[in-house]
């Protein structure tokens, strides 16, 4: 991502509705697989960014974080997070079967080729270990927001399934998230595409704009309800996808 986007993320990640809601969805997913994890799991956050998700995971067990960007790891350091390594997701500096849980939150879309990263994640998962992954949905929505964040793609249900299962993992759940904002975003981004010119990565801006405190709290509350539903069954549609997968025992 642009360095400015990392700074923007770090400044708001603890309270901004998008990031707060993402952590709610991740927590709901972890409740689904709670009985599959040991009491003190060894966790890897791949593409840990500025560290809010890693901080959440640290309450669950021994957590490690990797990111290829120096700026991201610097911000993680400001959160006093440890076990940080600068590394590519396609060449993890860990032994086979090292982790009980791997989290890849909105990172695969940043890779030109995502398959090698998921296969590498499978390599360092123990048998029976869990991969928890989130990605942006709907290729037709690809636009300025994705350009600003250096995305290569948005995912369809089938393309995400193929990426996960093609790496030898067994899919447990694949559900949309952020259901309540899908229609507004479809309208807003459609209008934005019609009105804007083609932008470079340097000129593009993400959709992370300031919102009034009341609206921010309302959005989090709505997504809290969605996360409650997600812990029980799939949401019918949404702006992103969340998937849980397991490394087979044999």
Q: Which domain holds residue 178?
A: 3-246
Query: Tell me: the pLDDT tens digits for 119-162?
Result: 999 999 999 999 999 999 999 889 888 888 889 999 999 999 99
Per-residue pLDDT at 210: 76
* C-alpha gyration radius of the chain: 17
Per-residue pLDDT at 198: 55
Separation between Cα atoms, residue 212 and residue 210, nearest integer Å: 7
Per-residue pLDDT at 28: 98
Residues 6+ apart with CB under 8 A from 184: none
Per-residue pLDDT at 212: 92
3-state secondary structure of 33: coil
In which order are the strands placed within the sheet that holds 62-67? 84-86, 62-67, 42-46, 99-105, 125-136, 240-246, 170-177
Per-residue pLDDT at 197: 56
Give the chain's domain count: 1
Give Cα separations from 49 to 5, 77, 118, 175, 201 (angstroms): 11, 11, 18, 23, 19
Separation between Cα atoms, residue 203 and residue 112, nearest integer Å: 21
Per-residue pLDDT at 116: 97
Q: CATH number, domain at 225? A: 3.40.50.150
Residues lower than pLDDT 70 in the chain: 1-3, 195-208
Percent of the chain with pLDDT over 70: 92
* Cα–Cα nearest to 79, from 13, 163, 146: 13
- The pTM of the full predicted model, rounded to 2 decimals, is 0.91
Tokens of 113: 């080729």
């Amino acid at each position: 991502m642009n360095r400015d986007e990392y700074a923007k993320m770090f400044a708001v990640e603890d309270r901004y509705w998008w990031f707060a809601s993402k952590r709610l969805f991740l927590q709901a997913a972890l409740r689904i697989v709670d009985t599959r994890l040991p009491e003190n799991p060894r966790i890897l956050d791949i593409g840990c960014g500025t560290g809010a998700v890693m901080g959440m995971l640290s309450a669950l067990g021994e957590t490690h974080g990797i990111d290829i960007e120096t700026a991201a790891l610097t911000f993680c350091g400001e959160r006093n997070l440890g076990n940080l390594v600068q590394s590519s997701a396609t060449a993890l500096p860990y032994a086979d079967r090292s982790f009980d849980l791997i989290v890849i939150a909105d990172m695969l879309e940043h890779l030109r080729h995502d398959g090698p990263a998921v296969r590498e994640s499978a390599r360092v998962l123990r048998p029976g270990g869990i991969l928890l992954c989130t990605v942006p949905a709907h290729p037709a929505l690809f636009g300025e927001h994705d350009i600003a964040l250096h995305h290569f793609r948005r995912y369809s249900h089938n393309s995400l399934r193929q990426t996960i299962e093609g790496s030898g993992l067994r899919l447990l759940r694949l559900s949309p998230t952020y259901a309540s904002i899908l229609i507004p975003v479809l309208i807003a981004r459609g209008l934005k595409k019609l009105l804007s010119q083609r932008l470079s990565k340097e000129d593009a801006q993400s959709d992370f704009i300031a919102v009034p405190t009341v609206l921010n709290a309302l959005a989090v509350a709505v997504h809290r309800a969605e996360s409650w539903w997600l812990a029980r069954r799939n949401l019918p549609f949404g702006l992103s996808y969340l998937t849980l997968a397991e490394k087979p025992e044999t």
